C-alpha cells in the first residue's frame, strides 16, 4: 500500500468516530499529574486542535496538584491530603489560586492559542460559573463542594467558537471571601453535567483505574466502582475521579473515561480508534 493510500485508509477507519462526535461537547480534565513535560503539553494542545477541527467542542478543566505542592513547599506552607483532597488553609488557598488561575490556566490557554485555537482562560469564579460551600462542614479548610453552576458563560464561549479553559476555583456567597479550592475532577464533573456533555475524559498519570495486581480495569460499572473503593483498591486521587465519573454518567453524560495522559496522543487514541485506551465507566443499564 502506498503512503497516500495508507493515509486515506486511516481517515476512512476514523470516519464512523468522526461522524459520531461531530458537534458533540466534550469536557476534558487535564490532570496536573499528566502535565509533566513540555512535549506532552504540546501534544495535548495539538490533540485539542484536532478535536476542534473535527467539529468537537472541547471544554478544558485543568488540575495542578504537583505544581501547587511544589509552590507550597517552596513557601514552607504545610499541606496534607484526606481522601484525595488537599486540606487547604487560608494561606494555602492563596497559593492554590495563584498557581491554578495565574500560572497553569494562562500557560495552557496561551499554548492552545499558539496552536491556532481561540482559547479563553477563566476560573470557576468568573461569572460565578462555580459557587461552593465548605466541604464536609469545613474540616478540609477552603476545599469546597460545588453548590451551583452558572454555565451560561461557557455556553456563550462555545457558541462563539472559543475553547474554554477552566481553573477549578469557585466563588463563595460572601464579600471578601478568598474562594474555594475545588478538586479539578469534581469541577469537570459539575461542568460536564451542566453542559449535558457527550463525554467527560480524565487525563491522569496512570493507565486508567488499576486493580490490586496493577492490571488495567478496562470497563467499570457503578457497582464495581463502589466495591473497589470499599476494598481500598481505589484510593487517594483516584477517589474523586471515579466519583466524578459515576456522578456524570448518572446525570446523563454518555460515557466517562480515565486515560493515561503520559501516553502521546492518548485523547486521539481513545476517541478515534476502535480499541480505545484506559478505563471507561458506564451507567449500570448500559
Ligand atoms: N486503583 C487505582 N488505579 C490507578 N491509580 C490510583 C488507584 N488508586 C489510587 N490511585 C492514584 O491516583 C493518582 C491519580 O490522581 P491524582 O489526583 O494524583 O492525579 P490527577 O487528578 O490526574 O492530577 P490533579 O489532582 O493535579 O488534577 C494516581 O497517580 C495513583 O497514585
Ligand atoms: Mg487529582
Ligand nearest to the backbone CA of 236: 1
Provide CB contacts within 8 A for 15, sequence distance 6+: none
- Domain range holding 126? 23-204
Tell me the per-residue pLDDT of 125-145, one tens digit each, with 9 for 90 and over.
999 999 999 999 999 999 999
The CB of 70 under 6 Å from ligand 1? The reply is no
| Domains identified in the chain, total number | 1
| Residue 100 Cβ contacting ligand 1 at under 6 Å | no
Asked if residue 210 belongs to a domain, the reply is no
- Domain assignment present for residue 227? The answer is no
For residue 210 and ligand 1, the question of a CB distance below 6 A is answered with: yes
Distance CA 4, CA 11 (A): 11
Task: Say yes or no: CB of residue 32 within 6 Å of ligand 1.
Answer: yes
**182-216 pLDDT, tens digit each:** 999 999 999 999 999 999 999 999 999 999 999 99
In a domain, 222, yes or no: no
Distance CA(236)–CA(275), nearest Å, equals 28
Does residue 271 fall inside a structural domain?
Answer: no
Tell me how far the alpha carbon of residue 211 lies from the centroid of ligand 1, in angstroms: 13
Phi, psi of 224 (to 5 degrees): -65, -40
Q: Is 125 inside a domain boundary?
A: yes
* Cβ proximity of 109 and 61 under 8 Å: no
The torsion angle over the Cα atoms of residues 273, 276, 280 and 285, rounded to 10 degrees, is 50
What per-residue confidence (pLDDT) applies to 285? 61
CATH of the domain at 150: 3.40.1160.10
Q: Is 16 part of any domain?
A: no
Facing residues of 259 across strands? 203
The residue contributing the CA closest to ligand 1 atom 20 is 31
Ligand 2 center–CA 237 separation, angstroms: 5
Q: Is 160 exposed, middle or buried (0-12, 13-18, 19+ CB in 10 A)?
A: exposed
Of residues 26, 44, 3, the one with CA closest to residue 191: 26
Instruction: Determine the distance separating the centroid of ligand 2 and the alpha carbon of 104, expressed in angstroms.
Output: 15
pLDDT by position in tens, the chain (length 286) = 788 898 898 888 889 999 999 999 999 999 977 787 888 888 999 999 999 999 999 999 999 989 999 999 999 999 888 877 899 999 999 999 999 999 999 999 999 999 999 999 999 999 999 999 999 999 999 999 999 999 999 999 999 999 999 999 999 999 999 999 999 999 999 999 999 999 999 999 999 999 999 999 999 999 999 999 999 999 999 999 999 999 999 999 999 999 999 998 999 999 998 777 899 998 876 5
Amino acid at each position: 500500500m502506498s503512503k497516500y493510500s495508507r493515509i486515506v485508509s486511516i481517515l476512512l477507519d476514523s470516519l464512523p468516530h468522526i461522524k459520531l462526535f461531530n458537534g458533540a461537547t466534550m469536557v476534558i480534565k487535564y490532570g496536573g499529574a499528566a502535565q509533566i513535560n513540555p512535549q506532552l503539553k504540546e501534544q495535548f494542545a495539538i490533540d485539542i486542535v484536532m478535536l476542534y477541527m473535527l467539529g468537537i467542542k472541547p471544554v478544558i478543566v485543568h488540575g495542578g496538584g504537583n505544581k501547587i505542592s511544589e509552590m507550597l513547599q517552596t513557601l514552607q506552607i504545610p499541606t496534607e491530603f484526606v481522601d484525595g483532597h488537599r486540606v487547604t488553609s487560608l494561606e494555602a488557598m492563596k497559593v492554590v489560586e495563584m498557581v491554578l488561575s495565574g500560572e497553569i490556566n494562562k500557560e495552557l490557554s496561551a499554548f492552545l492559542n499558539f496552536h491556532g485555537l481561540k482559547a479563553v482562560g477563566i476560573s470557576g469564579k468568573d461569572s460565578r460559573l462555580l459557587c461552593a460551600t465548605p466541604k464536609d462542614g469545613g474540616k478540609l479548610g477552603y476545599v469546597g463542594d460545588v453548590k451551583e453552576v452558572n454555565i451560561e458563560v461557557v455556553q456563550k464561549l462555545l457558541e462563539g467558537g472559543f475553547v474554554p479553559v477552566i481553573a477549578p476555583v469557585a466563588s463563595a456567597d460572601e464579600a471578601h471571601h478568598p474562594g474555594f479550592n475545588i478538586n479539578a475532577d469534581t469541577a469537570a464533573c459539575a461542568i460536564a453535567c451542566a453542559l449535558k456533555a457527550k463525554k467527560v475524559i480524565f487525563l491522569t498519570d496512570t493507565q486508567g483505574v488499576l486493580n490490586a495486581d496493577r492490571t488495567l480495569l478496562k470497563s467499570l460499572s457503578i457497582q464495581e466502582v463502589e466495591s473497589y473503593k470499599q476494598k481500598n483498591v481505589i484510593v487517594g486521587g483516584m477517589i474523586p475521579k471515579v466519583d466524578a465519573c459515576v456522578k456524570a454518567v448518572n446525570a446523563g453524560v454518555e460515557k466517562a473515561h480515565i486515560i493515561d495522559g503520559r501516553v502521546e496522543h492518548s485523547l486521539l487514541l481513545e476517541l478515534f480508534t476502535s480499541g480505545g485506551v484506559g478505563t471507561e465507566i458506564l451507567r449500570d443499564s448500559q
